[in-house]
Chain A
Amino acid sequence: MTDAEVIPAHETALVEVHRRLGARLIDFAGWLMPVQYTGIIEEHRAVRERAGLFDLSHMGELFVEGAAAGDALAAAVVSDPRTLAVGRAQYSMICAPDGGIIDDLIVYRLAADRFLVVANAGNAAIVSDELAARLHGWSAVLDDRSLATSLVAIQGPAAAGVLGPLTDVDLAGLRYYAIAEGSVAGIPALVARTGYTGEEGFEVFVEWDRGIEIWKALEAAGAAAGVAPCGLGARDTLRLEAGMPLYGNELDRSTNPFDAGLGRVVKLDKPGGFVGRDALARVERDGPAKRLVGLEMAGRGIARHGYPVLNGASPSGVITSGTMSPTLGRAIAMAYVAPADAEPGTMLAVDIRGTGVPAHVVPLPFYRRPT
């Protein structure tokens, strides 16, 4: 071999399973991860129609424990984890003092004095360091179990039917954004009703070494229901249809939660304050400088990350994510645009390789699961 092959620093416990399934493996945030098995569209449809199985072991799992764990976390992130009942979860963000988003998170309350913070793979080390620094002086400790935890998700309408018989967790009683401790296929697990696909589904956290067993148990139990292994490619198109932001695309250090339309997550008035509060209070007062919108292309072409968005001849913003929606069969995108251009129905244009292709602003999400 003449070309130097880039070897990612990390492999999940499931990498051999992926290889056996014929996955195309890529470097994602320093992890060797499956981008697709049979094809992104087929995997995407499997999740919408049946269910898909995802290896998400690259995500960061940060446990925060101690008498002051709730107060310390409340001072570190924009939401207020103290308001969570035990067994419930909330979407949150950790921001810099200037209000820029360091990462978006899910915070689960496992016990009165114990929380689980799940961070994106690409930010896990940064969030871990930042949280550790922000917990300093509080009666709370951080246990970064990112490299000791396997995470497998089963997402789609068939998920509960497949997972139910394998677990002692009462799935019917497990609400959306809730988590329970139990076992799956005899393996000690945390089972959460959360996901990133716009479908019903569950995320199962186990010890690193048990990842393969969990995967195989779910794969075997799901075979009759047509459960398909799914890679990061389908995960991206699924979350985009569901209007969910992706760190690095819709969210980054130069973006604050209000820009992203996530101001509801920010608890400006929570007792004790938090990092970024003053900057975010100013944004709330003055209004964000840009707004995240959904776009549907009205002409030929697919808007991609980084393409300019125009209103007439004037610049309006930039595409953050775009694809051909497998469910809708139309090209969709998310973009930051000038606040004046953010109303649904506004006709804008996307500069696709030098041609202005018309696109209209539509409400998010693009797809909502049938109820």
Chain B
Amino acid sequence: MVPGDLRYTKDHEWVRLDGDEATVGVTQYAADQLGDVVFVDLPQVGRSLEQHATFGVVESVKAVSDMYAPLAGEVIAVNEALATQPELVNAQPFGDGWMIRVRIADVGQVDGLLDPAAYERLVAEA
């Protein structure tokens, strides 16, 4: 439920670190809470994101949720598949349901992300 090789945020997003790049998505817990995802709005490639800035929107049948940049950086890729298959967020939140990839502006911000154990506790208390 909580992969051990990722970092997390209090907003139920996950971050996969790869050198100075980070891939971002929402966790299984977030996907389950949202219910059937029917629309995902992602930023343009090249956009600069401040940490905690809204970078996109994920909508389920009933709810609209903002997504927040876990780290500052430039968007270098977005998951185009979600435009036509938003249900990937429910089916594979940690895989094909990824959202954006950013080039990390400040690696110091990585230390502020939750490790898997801390995120697991957060979900258990939710």
Contact of B35 among A39, A301, A302, A326 (CB under 8 A): A39
B61→A41 contact, CB < 8 A: yes
Contacts of A353 in B (CB 8 A): 57
Q: Fill in one digit per residue for B55-87: 1 if any A CB lies within 8 Å of its CB, else 0.
A: 001011110100000000000000000010000
Contact residues in A for B35 (Cβ distance below 8 Å): 36, 39-40, 233
Tell me, in angstroms, the Cα distance from A233 to B62 when the chains sit together. Answer: 7
Asked whether B120 is an interface residue with its Cβ less than 8 Å from the other chain, the reply is no
Give the CA-CA distance A324 to B38 in the complex, in Å: 7
B62 touches A35 (CB 8 A): yes
Chain A minimum-CB-distance residue to B66: A353
Chain B residue numbers with a CB within 8 Å of A41 are 36, 38, 61
Instruction: Looking at the assembled complex, report how far the CB atom of B94 sits from the nearest CB atom of chain A, in whole angstroms.
Output: 19
Contact at B61–A40, with CB atoms within 8 Å?
yes
Looking at chain B's contact residues, the main secondary structure is: strand
A40 touches B36 (CB 8 A): yes
Main secondary structure of the interface of A (DSSP, over half): mixed
Q: How far is the CA of A300 from the CA of B42 in the complex (A)?
A: 12
Q: Does B29 reach chain A (CB closer than 8 Å)?
A: no
Report if A301-B62 is in contact (Cβ < 8 Å); known contacts: A40-B35, A40-B36, A233-B35: no
Task: Determine whether B115 belongs to the interface, using a CB cutoff of 8 Å to chain A.
Answer: no
Count residues on chain A whose CB falls below 8 Å from chain B CBs: 18
Contact B38 A302 (CB under 8 A): yes
In whole Å, how far is A83's beta carbon from the nearest beta carbon of chain B? 39
Q: Give the residues in chain B near A304, CB-CB below 8 Å.
A: 64
The answer for the CA separation of A315 and B28 in the assembled complex, in Å, is 40
In the complex, the answer to whether A302 meets B36 with C-beta atoms within 8 Å is no
Is the pair B57, A233 in contact by a Cβ cutoff of 8 Å?
no
For the complex, give the distance between the alpha carbons of A266 and B39 in Å. Answer: 39
Query: Measured between C-beta atoms, what is the minimum distance from A112 to chain B in Å?
Result: 44
B57 to chain A, nearest CB (A): 7
For the complex, is A183 an interface residue (Cβ under 8 Å from B)? no
Binary CB contact string for chain A from 13 to 50 against chain B (1 if under 8 A, 0 otherwise): 00000000000000000000001100111100000000
**Within 8 Å CB of A300, what residues of B?**
39, 41, 83
- Residues from chain B with a CB closer than 8 A to the CB of A302 are 38-39, 59, 64
With contact pairs A40-B36, A41-B36 given, residues A237 and B41 touching in the complex (Cβ less than 8 Å): no
In the assembled complex, A311 has its CB within 8 A of some CB on chain B: no
* Nearest CB of chain A from residue B110's CB, rounded to whole Å: 29
- Cα–Cα, bound, A323→B39 (Å): 10
Do A323 and B41 touch (CB < 8 A)?
no
Q: Looking across the interface, which residue of chain A has its beta carbon closest to that of B32?
A: A24
In the bound complex, what is the Cα–Cα distance between A65 and B39 (angstroms)? 50
Q: Determine if A323 and B61 form an interchain contact, defined as CB atoms under 8 angstroms apart.
A: yes
Residues of A contacting B83 with CB < 8 Å? 300
> Bound complex: CA of A40 vs CA of B59, how far in Å?
13
**Chain A residues whose CB sits within 8 angstroms of the CB of B64 once the complex forms:** 302, 304
Chain A residues lying within 8 Å of B59, measured Cβ to Cβ, are 302, 324
Chain B CB count within 10 A is highest, among A35, A42, A323, for A323
Instruction: Looking at the assembled complex, report how far the CB atom of A360 sits from the nearest CB atom of chain B, in whole angstroms.
Output: 19
CB-based contact B39/A301 at 8 Å: yes
Q: A24's closest neighbor in chain B, by CB?
A: B35
Most buried by B among A36, A41, A326: A41
Q: Chain A residues with Cβ under 8 A from B57's Cβ?
A: 353
The chain B residue sitting closest to A42, CB to CB, is B36
Question: With the chains together, A73 CA to B83 CA distance in Å?
Answer: 52
**Residues 287-324 (chain A) with a chain B CB within 8 angstroms:** 300-302, 304, 323-324
Q: Complex formed: what's the CA distance from A324 to B36 in Å?
A: 10
Give chain A residues whose Cβ lies under 8 Å from the Cβ of B41.
Answer: 300-301
CA distance A302 to B37 in the complex (A): 12
Q: Digit string of A256-273 for contact with B (CB within 8 Å is 1, else 0)?
A: 000000000000000000
Which residues in B have their C-beta under 8 angstroms from that of A42? 36
Chain A residue at minimum C-beta to C-beta distance from B38: A324
- Complex: how many Å from CA A370 to CA B64? 32
A selection of 24 A-B contacts at a CB cut-off of 8 Å is: A36-B35, A39-B36, A40-B35, A40-B36, A40-B60, A40-B61, A40-B62, A41-B61, A42-B36, A233-B35, A233-B61, A233-B62, A300-B83, A301-B41, A302-B38, A302-B39, A302-B59, A302-B64, A323-B61, A323-B62, A324-B38, A324-B39, A324-B61, A331-B39
Closest 7 CB pairs of A and B: A324-B38, A40-B61, A41-B36, A39-B36, A302-B39, A302-B59, A40-B36
